[in-house]
Amino acid sequence: MDPKTDKLIRRTTMVGTATAAYFLLTADYGPQENALDPIKRAIESVQLSLKRFIFGQDKKLQENEKEKSKYNDVK
């Protein structure tokens, strides 16, 4: 096989495999717990901590985050 064609096929296969893996990992599993939930919670926790660090502790922010977490827990 031509080296350029071989390289194109390998790259296409890698991109297809990575795309399929991404869709399988991020698929909607409904309200059940899944393997990515702890990672998602850790990212959200870091995001909230950074917001508090940068913008300070705000009562409105706390209330919004509590309401948001209640809404996410209901899902």
71 with 38, same domain: the answer is yes
Query: Do residues 26 and 58 share a domain?
Result: no
Band (8; pLDDT cuts 50, 70, 90): very high
Asked whether residue 46 falls in the same domain as residue 68, the answer is yes
Structurally, the chain folds into a number of domains equal to 2
DSSP string, 18-52: HHHHHHHHT---TTS--TTHHHHHHHHHHHHHHHH
Q: Is the pLDDT of residue 74 over 60?
A: no
| Whether residue 26 is found in the same domain as residue 38 | no
Do 20 and 7 sit in the same domain of this protein? yes
**Residues 55, 38 within the same domain:** yes
pLDDT, mean of residues 52-67: 72
Q: What pLDDT does residue 11 have?
A: 93
Same domain, 1 and 15: yes
Q: Are residues 59 and 74 in the same domain?
A: yes
- Domain limits for position 48: 34-75
pLDDT in tens, 13-59: 999 999 888 888 777 666 677 777 888 888 889 888 888 888 877 66
